[in-house]
């Protein structure tokens, strides 16, 4: 059976720590890695739009000396002819050594894995999970703080539909001494099943608030997210909620001097561009980290050592 990453908990804490160490080594010694995936192919199957995730996967594989194939929209695949995800994956697993896929339906990556002979990486399944964004987030937090324990993290925005938030909560809950401040409007609170399984069952402290301003001074990390327009059933509700939080230099006045600000991107309006110049802004570093950790993950799943 191939090794898949469908959910962040498919990787143990020890494996995540090793991926982080590899990512740092890749950055320090890129030449050691430039050929390790020669003759290997990555397929990126994106049934839903993406900029960073798809391009970072592709750029990661190219930097390892491998090659890439795939599609960036469902409309250019046989999906439009009525082919099932299972048959598409079965086909692609005859050509590629590893597959990264994104799909608007929750559970699609799991379903795909039942038809694949090569590792499947979930690059986002609907409003459910996004494990490789979480690896990116963990690498970024580690590089900012040199630890993955002992902090208060504020998750702000669309905690209901934001799959990156769901995976991040599941990941961080396995580290020591983490406290969450869940900042969202009433309508976009973290789903109950995640609170029950990842927080309450393990006795992890959290508070739920609606004001970022009131919470900001206690945070070591602030994870901003966009309101997930494409998951709303009702446009009016989206329009009402979309600008619930906008981080500006003024609003950062009360924040700690060593706060780290993360955002999986794309940003819409949640962080004003002036904040990019603040030394606490880590989201552009996060983009670079996404490529490094995906390089480490591809090698790991293909059983390749440098
Ligand atoms: C995120 C996603 O696709 O869930 N983007 C990403 O992969 N960096 C976040 C988002 O779309 O808001």
Cross-strand partners of 198: none
pLDDT at 181 (0 to 100): 98
Among 22, 40, 44, 53, which one carries the catalytic annotation? 53
Judge contact between 59 and 291, C-beta under 8 A.
Answer: yes
Summarised one tens digit per residue, pLDDT across range 93-116 is 999 999 999 999 999 999 999 999
Question: Which atom of ligand 1 is the closest one to the Cα of 228?
Answer: 12
CA of 240 to the centre of ligand 1 (A): 21
Q: Whose CA is nearest to atom 11 of ligand 1?
A: 266
**Residue 83 pLDDT > 90:** no
Say whether 128 is catalytic. Answer: no
pLDDT at 152: 98
Q: Is the pTM of this model over 0.85?
A: yes
Over the stretch 211-230, which tens digit does the pLDDT of each residue have? 999 999 999 999 999 999 99
Counting every residue written for the chain, the total comes to: 306
pLDDT band for position 62 (50/70/90)? very high
Which entry of 40, 54, 79, 102 is annotated as an active-site residue? 102
């Amino acid at each position: 059976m191939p090794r898949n990453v469908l959910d962040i908990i498919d990787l143990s804490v020890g494996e995540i720590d090793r991926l982080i160490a590899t990512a740092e080594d890749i950055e320090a010694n890129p030449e050691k890695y430039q050929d390790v995936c020669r003759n290997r192919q990555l397929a990126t199957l994106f049934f839903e739009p993406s900029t960073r995730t798809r391009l970072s996967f592709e750029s990661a594989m190219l930097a390892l000396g491998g090659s890439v194939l795939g599609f960036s929209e469902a409309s250019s695949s046989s999906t439009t002819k009525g082919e099932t995800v299972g048959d598409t994956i079965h086909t692609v697993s005859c050509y590629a050594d590893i597959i990264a896929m994104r799909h608007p339906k929750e559970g699609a990556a799991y379903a795909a894995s039942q038809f694949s002979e090569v590792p499947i990486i979930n690059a986002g399944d609907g409003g459910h999970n996004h494990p490789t964004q979480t690896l990116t987030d963990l690498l970024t937090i580690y590089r900012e703080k040199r630890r993955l324990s002992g902090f208060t993290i504020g998750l702000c925005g669309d905690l209901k539909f934001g799959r990156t938030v769901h995976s991040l909560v599941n990941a961080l809950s396995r580290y020591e001494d983490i406290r969450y401040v869940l900042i969202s409007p009433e309508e976009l609170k973290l789903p109950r099943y995640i609170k029950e399984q990842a927080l309450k069952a393990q006795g992890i402290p959290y508070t739920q608030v609606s004001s970022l301003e009131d919470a900001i001074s206690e945070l070591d990390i602030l994870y901003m997210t966009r309101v997930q327009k494409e998951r709303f059933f009702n446009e009016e509700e989206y329009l009402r909620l979309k600008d619930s939080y906008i981080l500006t230099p003024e609003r950062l006045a009360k924040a700690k001097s060593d706060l780290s600000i993360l955002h999986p991107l794309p940003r819409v309006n949640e962080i004003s561009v002036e904040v990019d110049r603040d030394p606490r802004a880590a989201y552009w570093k996060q983009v670079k980290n996404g490529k490094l950790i995906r390089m480490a993950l591809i090698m790991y799943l293909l059983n390749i050592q440098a």
